[in-house]
């Protein structure tokens, strides 16, 4: 015998070689593929009430940000002579534009955004704020808001140096409550 393969054996050997080559290629590809997380877009607005948690508390972080101004407190003025009511121009160019800019972000992204603070230190741009850290007038006003007074923590959006949007987060939905222009509701350093 000369060691030379006949047609059938050589065809079988080529097929075995091809399968081995593809198996090696598939193994390399499967280790280099990165699967991105998928976020959920929900159009349902949750009820404005506290519900005992049955879902994991961080479940909302996988949902896209949603918001509304249906619970906004726009009656009266603050003691520093700032109206609670915003103008149509402020709503269109500042409030709506800013909150709509988060519509394609998941809540995890909204909560972890940062900015350069004093001395180049990175700080959270948007954050949760306990009611007792607000000025006394804001705390008193909060207790007057029947639907909202049950919540002891607000979520705050920072819009530049002085402007803030305050509200509450229920599940994936942000209910806007106050818009302030002069950073007086919580005057402490951010």
The set of residues, in sequence order, having a beta carbon less than 8 Å from that of 48 and lying 6+ positions away, is: 71, 147, 148, 170, 175
Six-digit token pair at 49?
Answer: 């009430």
Taking a C-beta distance cutoff of 8 angstroms, is the pair 186, 74 a contact?
Answer: no
Q: Which has the closest alpha carbon to 132: 170, 185, 81?
A: 185
Query: What is residue 190's predicted lDDT score, i.e. its pLDDT?
Result: 44
- Per cent of the chain over pLDDT 90 is 47
DSSP 84: S
Six-digit token pair at 108?
Answer: 């995890």
The total of other beta-carbon atoms located within 10 Å of residue 25's CB is 10
Q: Which residues of the chain fall short of a pLDDT of 50?
A: 1, 54, 190
User: Is the pTM of the predicted complex or chain greater than 0.85?
Assistant: no
Query: What is residue 25's predicted lDDT score, i.e. its pLDDT?
Result: 67
């Amino acid at each position: 015998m000369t060691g030379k393969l006949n047609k059938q054996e050589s065809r079988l050997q080529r097929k075995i070689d091809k399968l081995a080559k593809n198996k090696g290629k598939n193994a390399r590809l499967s280790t280099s593929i990165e699967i991105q997380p998928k976020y959920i877009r929900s159009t349902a607005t949750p009820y404005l009430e506290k519900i005992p948690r049955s879902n994991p508390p961080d479940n909302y972080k996988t949902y896209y940000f949603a918001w509304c101004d249906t619970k906004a407190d726009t009656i009266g003025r603050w003691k520093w002579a700032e109206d609670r009511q915003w103008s149509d121009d402020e709503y269109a160019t500042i409030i709506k534009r800013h909150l709509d800019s988060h519509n394609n972000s998941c809540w995890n992204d909204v909560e972890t955004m940062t900015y350069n603070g004093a001395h180049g230190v990175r700080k959270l741009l948007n954050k949760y704020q306990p009611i007792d850290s607000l000025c006394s007038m804001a705390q008193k006003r909060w207790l007057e808001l029947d639907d909202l007074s049950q919540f002891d923590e607000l979520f705050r959006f920072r819009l530049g140096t002085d402007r803030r949007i305050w509200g509450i987060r229920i599940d994936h939905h942000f209910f806007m409550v106050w818009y302030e222009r002069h950073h007086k509701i919580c005057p402490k350093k951010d």
